[in-house]
Amino acid sequence: MTQPLITQPIPWLDGPFWPFLALLLFAVLPTEIWRWLAVAFSRRLDANSPALEWVRAVATALLAGIVAKLIVAPPGALAAVPLALRVGALAVTLGIMLFDRRRVMLAVLAGEAALIGGAYWLLTP
């Protein structure tokens, strides 16, 4: 099967090593640069400063935001499961964590069981 939609290599850089080069240029570099910048910045910041508290709050919110985005607009096979079930599985996990914060494993397994069990019940005729 041909895939006409796929992003084509940059012609003058194309070759057998193109996938490796693309990974370095367009995935590794734009990711790693923030970690490097953080090393440069963090030397001048005090661990208990309000600035760092703010930075941590933003990072926590960003992560919660990614969770919401993955649930609302999921990739791949997860999209085959109805939104209500995806939200429900998340609610099961959150409910257990609210009940007892140390039960990470139980919360993850229960959320997964709800999702997979629900998917089987809804998707298999």
Using CB under 8 A as the binding rule, the residues of this chain from 40 to 79 that contact other proteins are 41-42, 45-47, 50, 52-78
Cβ at position 1, least distance to other proteins in Å = 10
* Tokens linked to 106: 């139980």
Residue with tokens 């001048």: 44
Joined tokens for residue 26: 């367009």
Q: How far is the CB of 76 from other proteins (least distance, A)?
A: 5
Phi, psi of 85 (to 5 degrees): -70, -40
Determine, following the binding rule CB under 8 A, whether residue 38 of this chain makes contact with other proteins: yes
User: Which residues, numbered 97-116, are part of the site for other proteins (CB under 8 A)?
Assistant: 97-98, 101-102, 104-105, 107-108, 111-112, 115-116
Q: How many residues bind other proteins (CB under 8 A)?
A: 81
Q: Is 35 in the site for other proteins (CB under 8 A)?
A: yes
Q: How far is the CB of 13 from other proteins (least distance, A)?
A: 10
Query: Is residue 84 part of the contact set for other proteins (CB under 8 A)?
Result: no
| 71 φψ region: left (φ > 0), alpha (ψ -120 to 50), beta (else) | alpha
User: Which single residue is written with the structure tokens 């992003």?
Assistant: 7
Fill in the amino acid letter for 47.
A
Q: Which is nearer to other proteins, 59 or 84 (by Cβ)?
A: 59
| DSSP 8-state code for residue 9 | P
Decide: 26 and 34 in contact? Cβ < 8 Å.
no
Kindly tell me which of 33 and 84 has the beta carbon lying closer to other proteins.
Answer: 33
The yes or no reply on residue 15 touching other proteins (CB under 8 A) is no
